[in-house]
Amino acid sequence: MPDLHVATTPLTALIAAGVARAEAREAALVLVDDYDDAARWGELLAAWRDTPFARIERVPGRASEARAGAAIEGAALVRRLRRERIKRTLRAGAFERLRALDRALAPERVFVGNDRRPETQYALHLAAGRRARPGIYLDDGLFTYLGDAHQRPIARRLDQFFKRRLYGSWWQSLPLVGTSRFVDEARLAFPELALDAAPERRRVPLAPALFANRAFARLARDAWRAFAPSAPRARFDTLVLLPHTRLFRRGGAPDARLRRLLAERAGARVAVKYHPRETLPDPLALAGEGAELLPHGVPAELVLARVARGGTVLGEASTALLAARWLRPDLAVLDLGLAEAPFALLARAFLAARGVAAFASPR
C-alpha cells in the first residue's frame, strides 16, 4: 500500500520528498493550500524528474479561505460570519477529497508535519481505521524543540470542546506538534533535543544526505527557474532570512537596524527572503537599500544552495536558521537579534546552543 504524505508548508513537502525517495516506496502527496504558492509547488514537484510521488493532490487551506474571503463586504460582524461560512465549506471540501483519497489508496502510513491542523488530523484519523497509529511526524522546525512561546491551556480546552462538537471525537487539541495519539514515530533533525519524550513514540534522525544530493540540486534549480527566471544563476555572499513581519510588530520595529546592516554590506551581493505567508512583496522596503528580493515561495532550504561557499546567512528566530546550520556547515549562520517577542527570545538561546552565533548588529 502506498504511503500518504500531507504537507502544509514547503518545508514539509521537501522533507516528505526526501523521505519518500530514500524509502523507495510508492507514495502520494497532498498539499494543503495554506500558502499562496501551493499550486505552483504541486506543479514543480510533479514535473521534477526525481519525484517520488505517483500522485500529487491539493486541498483547500488557509490561503484558499483568504482568497475566497477577500471580496466580502459589509459590517464587521457580517464579514466575520461570511468568512466562517466560507471556511466551513472549504474545509468540508478538503475532508471530502481526503476521504476519496483514503478510499483509493488505503494508506497504512501517513506522514505529516503539523498534526494540529484539521486536515492532517483527519487524514490520520481515516488511516487509523486500518492501523491504530499510522502517523509519522516530520520535523516541523523550531516548534518541535521549543513548543509554543505562550502556554494557553484554557484556550486549548475551549478549542477541544468546540472542535470535537464540530468534527467528532477524533479531534485533539495538542499542546505540542507531533504528539497526537495517531503518531507512532517522529523523523527529526535533532531527535535528542525534541521536547516530546513520550516512550510510545520512536524518534529517528533525519540525515542531511537526504537533501544534499544531485536530485535535490535539480529540484533547487527547477524551483529557481520557476520562481526567479530573471536570475537563473544568481549567487549571493549574504542571505537574510526574515520571519513574518508580525513578529517585528510585536517586538519593536527593526527597519532602521536592518537598513544599517545592508549599508554595512554595500558591495556584497545580499539577498533578502521574506516569510512565505507575507502578502506584500517587500513589507520592510529593503529593495531600496540595495537588497535583492527573493520570491516568497522558494523555501529557504533550497535558497541555501545559492549562497557562496563560506558565505553568511543571517536570520531571526526561524526554522530556516536551524536548517542552514544543519544543511550548510560551511556557512557562517548568525542570529540578527532584532525582535524581542517571547518566541524570538526562546529561539535565540536554543539557536545559540546549536552554533548559531549572535550577530553584532549595527545600532
Among candidate residues 301, 317, 311, 31, the one with its CA nearest the CA of residue 189: 301
d(CA 58, CA 188): 25
Phi, psi dihedral angles at 79 (to 5 degrees): -60, -40
d(CA 254, CA 261): 11
d(CA 215, CA 209): 11
Q: What pLDDT is recorded for position 16? A: 96
Q: What pLDDT is recorded for position 289? A: 82
Is pTM beyond 0.75? Reply is: yes
329, containing H or E segment: none
Phi, psi dihedral angles at 134 (to 5 degrees): -85, -5
* Burial bucket for residue 165 (CB in 10 Å: 0-12, 13-18, 19+): exposed
- Cα–Cα distance list, 75 to 80, 81, 86, 155, 272 (Å): 9, 10, 16, 27, 38
β-bridge mates for residue 29, sequence order: 5, 56
CATH topology of domain 230-358: Rossmann fold (3.40.50)
- Considering the domain 3-210, what is its CATH architecture? 3-Layer(aba) Sandwich (3.40)
Q: What is the DSSP letter of 326?
A: H
Judge whether 210 and 17 are in contact, CB under 8 Å.
no
Break the chain into its structural domains and give their ranges.
3-210, 230-358
- Cα–Cα distance list, 159 to 133, 175, 270 (Å): 23, 11, 43
Cα 47–Cα 6–Cα 307 angle in degrees, nearest 5: 55
Task: Provide the grid cell at 59.
Answer: 486541498
Reading the chain (363 residues) residue by residue, the pLDDT tens digits are: 899 999 998 889 999 999 999 998 999 999 999 988 899 999 999 999 999 999 999 999 998 998 888 888 888 888 888 888 999 999 999 999 999 999 999 999 999 999 999 999 999 999 999 999 999 999 998 999 998 766 677 777 787 888 888 898 999 999 899 999 999 999 999 999 999 999 999 999 999 999 989 999 999 889 888 887 776 567 899 999 987 777 666 545 566 777 877 888 877 889 999 887 788 889 888 888 888 888 887 888 888 888 999 999 998 878 889 989 988 989 999 988 877 777 888 888 899 988 898 887 544
Name the strands in the sheet holding 27-33, side by side, starting at the edge strand that comes first in the sequence. 53-60, 27-33, 3-7, 110-112, 135-138, 183-188, 202-205
d(CA 206, CA 146): 18
β-bridge mates for residue 357, sequence order: 334
Got the DSSP string for 259-305? HHHHHHTTTS-EEEE--TT-SSS-TT--GGGTPEEPPTTS-HHHHGG
264-282 per-residue burial string, b: 16 or more CB within 10 A, e: under 16: ebeeebbbbbbbbebeeee
Task: Provide the grid cell at 132.
Answer: 491504530
Among candidate residues 137, 147, 231, the one with its CA nearest the CA of residue 180: 137
Q: What pLDDT is recorded for position 262? A: 83
N-terminal to C-terminal alpha carbon distance within the chain: 58
d(CA 238, CA 296): 17
